[in-house]
Copies of this chain bind each other. A is one copy, B any other.
Amino acid sequence: MVRPKSYDRQKAVENACLAFWEHGFQALGVRELEQQTGINQFAIRSEFGGKEGLLLEALNYYRDAAITNEMAPMWDGGIPEIITFLRGLVTPGSMTSSQFGCLMVNTGVENARLKSPALGEATRGYWTELESHFTRALENELRAQGGKVRFSPAELAAALVSAVMGVHVQNRTQKDQTAGRALVDLMCNRLAELRASS
């Protein structure tokens, strides 16, 4: 009854995600996007709502993948799971480790000028999600340690989020997915101390 689509939607979003991740939103033209993703220009409009709509789908894809593959263990874990997450930021193979930094960081920096409400909500939601996972893990840890308060989960979680951003930017500016290692080590040592000295 219908002509079949020439692309796989899932794969297309995945490709779009990688393309925006590497090149950013503004610098990536629709025609270049067409080639990098395999989606034809018509479909970008009719199926995704244009360039920004495609980025939004890419952001959702990125968020879901990050939550599932990287953040999830922290939800019922403690400091060891946070440390594993942080190490992933500078460990080849992890999806949160890239010489292009982080799609959410890059988009957030761009959107400070673009001021797109949709993009703002998408990036903000991601960092809220990450902070929640950090907070959960720290609260779990605190409970397991018997409540002797040596740190504030909320404060420490907020600091960790900024640190994650810093690692990503360092990786991107240096074109080296391990460039942020020094800060990761420092944060991991700090966390290990909080656990050991309970």
Across the interface, do B172 and A155 meet the contact criterion of CB distance under 8 Å? no
State whether the Cβ of A108 lies closer than 8 Å to any Cβ in chain B.
yes
Nearest-CB residue, chain B, relative to A100 = B112
Residues of B within 8 A of A164 (CB): 166
Q: What 0/1 readout, one digit per residue, does chain A (1-35) give for beta carbons within 8 Å of chain B?
A: 00000000000000000000011101100000000
State whether the Cβ of A113 lies closer than 8 Å to any Cβ in chain B.
yes
Residues of B within 8 A of A155 (CB): 182, 185-186
In which size bucket is the chain A interface? Answer: 35 or more
Residues of B within 8 A of A175 (CB): 112
State whether the Cβ of A95 lies closer than 8 Å to any Cβ in chain B.
no
Q: What 0/1 readout, one digit per residue, does chain A (140-178) give for beta carbons within 8 Å of chain B?
A: 000000000000000110110111111101101101000
Residues of B within 8 A of A101 (CB): 109, 112
Residues of B within 8 A of A161 (CB): 170
Residues of B within 8 A of A109 (CB): 24, 101, 105-106, 109, 169, 172-173
State whether the Cβ of A75 lies closer than 8 Å to any Cβ in chain B.
no
Q: What 0/1 readout, one digit per residue, does chain A (86-102) give for beta carbons within 8 Å of chain B?
A: 00000000000000110
Nearest-CB residue, chain B, relative to A22 = B113
Min Cβ gap A142→B in Å is: 17
In the complex where A24-B113, A27-B113, A109-B109 touch, is A183 in contact with B170 (Cβ < 8 A)? no
**Complex Cα distance A90/B83, Å?**
26
**Complex Cα distance A19/B71, Å?**
37
Min Cβ gap A85→B in Å is: 15
Tell which of B27, B105, B159 touches A169, judged by Cβ atoms closer than 8 Å. B105
State whether the Cβ of A114 lies closer than 8 Å to any Cβ in chain B.
yes
State whether the Cβ of A45 lies closer than 8 Å to any Cβ in chain B.
no
